[in-house]
Amino acid sequence: MNLAHLLLRSARSAGERPAVYLGTELLFDYATLARRAAALGASITERHGLQPGDRVGLFMSNHPSVLEILFGCWWAGLAVVPINPKLHPREVDYILAHSQASIAFTTDDIGPALVDFGAGFGAPTAELRALVFVEQPEYAQLLQAEPLAAPVERSGDDLAWLFYTSGTTGRPKGVMITHRNLMTMSLCYFSNVDAIHPDDAALYAAPMSHGAGLYGLPHVMAGARHVVPESRGFDAAEVLALGRHFGSVSMFAAPTIVKRIVDQAVAQGEDGTGLKTIVYGGGPMYVEDIQRALRVMGPRFVQIYGQGESPMTITALSRQQITDVQHPQHLARLGSVGVAMAAVEVRVTDSQGRELPTGETGEVLVRGDSVMAGYWRDPAATAKTLRDGWLFTGDMGSLDEHGFLTLRDRSKDVIISGGSNIYPREVEEALLHHPGVAEVSVVGRPDAEWGEVVVAFVVPCPGSELEPLMLDEVCREHIARFKRPKEYHLVDALPKNHYGKVLKTELRAQLAAMAPR
């Protein structure tokens, strides 16, 4: 089971179909994409002496060559190490060294900083033999090799994608994702997320090193188009323009990106024509925000919940469920992340691992063929996270009687005040009812009397004049007294990691620095 067969199949059955675009310019069709991938696979194994199972780093901004490199590596039986292009060279150096990558590919906008830092070269734990710039002549030479006739045989359990977590609690861990894991993810896209037709187009406005890139796989299976924006990143106006140009466009976006697309649509007086499906996930989508998105853009949205350890594949909230406003539990479902996808099981357990009744909050556990093989070179972390066939996600949530999962928070973010559990997301949802609140994040601060007290960091909307009393009043209307924040801090921005997730650890550190000594 080698994922490269997905590309080979589409190239054989529909080789003339358009495959890869940069902006609105067609670069090559499926037959050409497959030939380039097979040639690249031959070159990197012959020229650099790589063997099946060796790792190849991808430290690249979004670029049309990402797909051919990805499939070229798989064609040769190699594993890919995707690296967020926003990382500091020191962080990249760690990932290249820890993954024992043999070579790496990069782009001209970020690669020079890596060279200047000396990442991998000469470091005692690194095995990096070459850093290939995809816009330079060396890369074009790699594509001139005689293509491999067929993908190297690989087992479904062989490593395909070695993804490093964002490392919000220390050094990032290498998540071992297999060919079977990604095939399962792709099939679950078809069964639980959306249908894909050959005339559809996958738009890569989010980093291809993350979920957006993985969602290229089901689009390759369907022989659909792949569009890298000319900006090679996210620009809301460009997304809307490409939707109009191509039609039937699908994309993955974090909730913060969805909000910016909706804002741009409002500013331009548009409704997102041509954007077929926006799959959102990777962070909390507040009910107020998805309701506004539906009002402005209509039924274009699907929610998914996944983790690096079960990529893009735990639960889904379908387009129909999102838009079924007549359902008596519609609002509750909008606040959920949907139901388990076809290939996974989901349960909620207490701290002793006992399954909890409907409606009770505990840790979310996942089992299925989408779940990782383990953490690279970290058996202790693997044993802690994978137990008895279940992935312990570290997320807290509850299941209703129909199987809809509502996430409360990461287990480490739950606030325990006076013996009661308080889930920050519930407080955040309440505060977002105030029209002057743009963003909010809630954390706990140690307190001698209560154990912890609730503290809210609030980003006001431009021109809004917020006062703590106003915020407290909106909390009175929506949540119990004991859940209300004891402090409100008005800030210009919230600290976030490279994937747009709020760094609550930094907010807690700020509170600690404010404490009297």
Q: What is the mean pLDDT of residues 135-164?
A: 98
pLDDT in tens, 431-477: 999 999 999 999 999 888 888 899 999 999 999 999 999 999 999 99
Residue 125 buriedness (CB in 10 A; 0-12 / 13-18 / 19+)? exposed
Report the alpha-carbon distance of residue 462 to residue 306 in Å, rounded: 33
Under the banding of pLDDT at 50, 70 and 90, the label for residue 57 is: very high
- pLDDT of 348 strictly over 70: yes
Question: What is the tens place of the pLDDT at every residue in 302-322?
Answer: 999 999 999 999 999 999 999
Q: Parse the chain into domains and list their residue ranges.
A: 4-398, 414-514
pLDDT, one tens digit per residue, over 21-47 is 999 999 999 999 999 999 999 999 999
Average model confidence (pLDDT) across the chain: 93
- Of 394, 388, 487, 396, nearest to 444 by C-alpha is 487
Collapse the DSSP code of 255 into the 3-class scheme (helix H, G, I; strand E, B; otherwise coil) and give the result. helix
What per-residue confidence (pLDDT) applies to 125?
39
**Of how many residues is the chain composed?**
517
Q: What is the DSSP string of 390-415?
A: EEEEEEEEEE-TT--EEEEEEGGG-E
Fold of the 4-398 domain: Rossmann fold (3.40.50)
At 184-196, the pLDDT tens digits run 999 999 999 999 9
Higher-pLDDT residue of 166, 164: 164
Share of the chain above pLDDT 70, in %: 97
Give per-residue pLDDT as tens, 189-235: 999 999 999 999 999 999 999 999 999 999 999 999 999 999 999 99
Span 391-430, pLDDT tens digits: 999 998 999 999 999 998 777 788 888 777 788 888 998 9
Q: Check pLDDT > 90 for residue 480.
A: no
Q: Could you give the residue ranges of the DSSP H alpha helices within 203-325? A: 211-214, 216-221, 236-246, 255-268, 287-297, 319-323
Q: Top-level CATH class of 414-514? A: alpha beta
- Let me know if the fold of 4-398 is the same as that of 414-514: no
Find the mean pLDDT for residues 87-94. 86
Residue 64 has pLDDT above 80, yes or no: yes
pTM, rounded to two decimals: 0.87
